[in-house]
A and B are shown apart, each in its own frame.
Chain A
Amino acid sequence: MNAILTHLPFVIAVTVAIAGLAVVLWRRNLIHVLMGMSLVESAVNLFLVALGYRHDAVAPIYTGLRDGGEGVRMVLPTVQALTLTAIVIGLATTAMMLSLVIVIHRHYGTTDVRDVRRLRE
């Protein structure tokens, strides 16, 4: 039981990533494709946070500890910092790609990936 619980976050992360990739590859609406990419991004973030988790540990905030924090275990703060950065970057990427989809829709009148192929000609 314990082994399953330990590995569960990683299993979920991989599942979400595969689901996101499937959406990216097989959905035809550009908005859906971007949603798939957000899923992949969340999966990677979940993976990172799960790496630093310990079952019996507290959040890595020093000021809230009683008795100077003797004997208290904390979860790894590095991955949380990485994830925060990755979330910010992901937000910027998603916002920019959505704005590009809006521009494409304005000029092409569609968000279907089969019709957004004018560069090939």
Chain B
Amino acid sequence: MNLSCCCSTHSPALAVALPLLGAMLVMLIPAERRPQLRGIVFFLAAALGAFAAISAAGWALALGSCDYVFGAGPAFGLPEGALGRGAAGAVPIRIVFHIDAAGALMLLIAAVTSTAAALYALRSEEGTTALPAFQPLYLLLVAGVYGMVATGDAFNFFVFLEITSLAGAALAACRIDRGLAAEAGLKYAAISSLGGLSYLAGVGLLLARHDLLNIAALSQAIQGGGPSATDYAALGLMALPLAMKAGTVPMHQWTPDTYSRAPHPVSAFLLISSQASLFGLFRVAFTLFGAPVVSTTSLGAFLAVLAALSMFVGVTMAIPQHDVKRLISHHAVSQTGYMLLGASVALAVLGDAEKTAAFGRDALAGSLFHMMNYAIYNGLLFLAAGAVVWRTGKRNLDDMGGLGRAMPVTMLCFGIGALAIAGIPPMSGFASKWVLYESVFRYSPLLAIVAMVVSLLTLASFVKVFQAMFLGPARKHLAEVKEVPLAMAFPMLLLALATIAIGLFPDVVMQRLLLPAADALLK
């Protein structure tokens, strides 16, 4: 297979271009006079973008990796060294997308969740004052996330990072909500913006030292030449803001505010935007700096401590919450801890080939597995909780009760999501947590025990939520509540089905997707 075969499909570029184009188109359609046309264009742009992303991911998985060079057709050939493996002395200056198995996994996750949330948004956001702003911003966020996981250029990553930050903050704020949503949006924007600047300064340092921006070429230069002080400074400047944007303790305060105030489908997709940041952290730590730099620092152990703190602080903050979306948002912090845990164990043993083969690789695969499952079941929880809030108009658990009879489908979906997040078999959350327990235990039994205890607390918390929302006697003020329409139930059922399917066949997913992805990061 030669390169041009892959590039001729243009799907990596289309995955970003279609949602961007859709965002512009949607803005041209008047929201009040043509709401249906606007909805169709909005959903088509999201679905076609997802289709392009899935096809790019398929190419990448089939070929091992997929490169797309902007500004150069196959007829012109690639400039020597454009992908970082050319002859010495050539200058890799073009912007490239480089999708390996890990990037393909992230593209798949983003594609599935963005389409489900967009379909849900067609009804849930119908007629709201936020709608005119919501649709283009959502498409921008989707384009930004695809770009972040697909790009092979360190500066280009910054551009997409800022696109997701801007769109995410504006989406979190777009309901205003007596100023509360604006407060959440401002907080998110401020934190993202400072984090982005720190990342940019790190890129500047690397450019100064190595005269390169292409990630593959940079990683060759960094790992080939022996680490310097500049490299360590750049690692810190780039890794920490990405950990912050992923929502890990101690920089997690923005997470519950932003997730809980955003429109429901946005909450579900903001998770993916945070995950793209976490994936960026993996890229920086594993691909860019790799064993020669990371193994001489204590970054892995440091991140493992942050991960354990995130798991614990997230769940203990979640238990006393009464606002259902805020409660799930605190659990999101806790789950981010799990995803970081496996990867940090892999980072901690990165320099040791024996330990990496014994459990580091599995720990990283477990992390990626949990990212995939979390995107689906936590998205599902936000959509199902959003469905309840949408029908009842209440956010407080104390005002709910007995909704199971009126909303059986929502109850079923929420229940599946709750079982998955608590790690109960046969749901997907059990499979990924099991991989994490096994591999993390061999690095540090204490961390594995923390993870298990947090899992129990998560279960306790969700038993309470489920009981408060759906069980118990019917409430008088909720007598008129009905099941959500099909357009909202269908995406929830789809995600619920995926949760069960992954839980039933974890081995297939592991062999086909996750181990190749972990190997691509470790390479």
Interface positions of A (Cβ within 8 A of B): 24, 30, 33, 37, 40-41, 44, 47-48, 51, 78-79, 82, 85-86, 89-90, 92-93, 96-97, 100-101, 103-104, 106-108, 116, 118-119
**Besides A93-B166, A116-B183, 16 other A-B contacts (C-beta < 8 A):** A24-B194, A41-B197, A47-B201, A79-B204, A82-B203, A89-B162, A100-B182, A100-B186, A100-B189, A104-B182, A104-B183, A108-B179, A116-B186, A118-B179, A119-B184, A119-B257
Say whether A118 contacts B189, CB under 8 Å. no
Given contacts A44-B204, A89-B159, A93-B189, contact A103 B197 (CB under 8 A): no
Bound form: Cα–Cα A93–B188 in Å: 11
A82, A93, A119 pick with most chain B CB within 10 angstroms: A119
One of B173, B180, B186, B207 near A79 (C-beta < 8 A): B207
Say whether B204 contacts A51, CB under 8 Å. yes
Say whether A86 contacts B200, CB under 8 Å. yes
Bound form: Cα–Cα A24–B187 in Å: 12
B266 to nearest A CB, angstroms?
A: 16
Interface positions of B (Cβ within 8 A of A): 93, 155, 158-159, 162, 165-166, 169-170, 173, 176, 178-180, 182-187, 189-190, 193-194, 196-197, 200-201, 203-204, 207-208, 213, 257, 261
Say whether B155 contacts A82, CB under 8 Å. yes
Classify the secondary structure of A's interface with B: helix
Say whether A119 contacts B180, CB under 8 Å. yes
Say whether A37 contacts B194, CB under 8 Å. yes
One of A37, A85, A107 near B190 (C-beta < 8 A): A37
Say whether B207 contacts A97, CB under 8 Å. no
- List chain A residues, Cβ under 8 A from B185: 100
B169, B185, B190, B193 pick with most chain A CB within 10 angstroms: B193
- List chain B residues, Cβ under 8 A from A40: 194, 197
Say whether B186 contacts A97, CB under 8 Å. yes
B166, B204, B257 pick with most chain A CB within 10 angstroms: B204
Given contacts A103-B173, A103-B179, contact A33 B190 (CB under 8 A): yes
Say whether B197 contacts A44, CB under 8 Å. yes
- List chain B residues, Cβ under 8 A from A44: 197, 200-201, 204
Q: What is the chain B residue whose CB lies nearest that of A34? A: B190
Q: Can you identify 5 A-B contacts, CB atoms within 8 angstroms?
A: A86-B200, A103-B182, A118-B180, A118-B183, A119-B183
Say whether B182 contacts A47, CB under 8 Å. no
B181 to nearest A CB, angstroms?
A: 9
Q: What is the chain A residue whose CB lies nearest that of B176? A: A103
Given contacts A40-B194, A104-B183, contact A51 B178 (CB under 8 A): no
Say whether A107 contacts B176, CB under 8 Å. yes
Bound form: Cα–Cα A17–B201 in Å: 11
Bound form: Cα–Cα A24–B155 in Å: 25
Say whether B189 contacts A47, CB under 8 Å. no
Say whether B261 contacts A119, CB under 8 Å. yes
- List chain A residues, Cβ under 8 A from B182: 100, 103-104, 107
- List chain B residues, Cβ under 8 A from A92: 166
Say whether A93 contacts B162, CB under 8 Å. yes
Bound form: Cα–Cα A45–B186 in Å: 23
A120 to nearest B CB, angstroms?
A: 8
Bound form: Cα–Cα A104–B186 in Å: 9
Say whether A96 contacts B169, CB under 8 Å. yes
Q: What is the chain B residue whose CB lies nearest that of A13? A: B201
Bound form: Cα–Cα A89–B160 in Å: 10
Q: What is the chain A residue whose CB lies nearest that of B204? A: A48
- List chain A residues, Cβ under 8 A from B93: 78
Bound form: Cα–Cα A31–B77 in Å: 51
B108 to nearest A CB, angstroms?
A: 28
- List chain A residues, Cβ under 8 A from B176: 103, 107
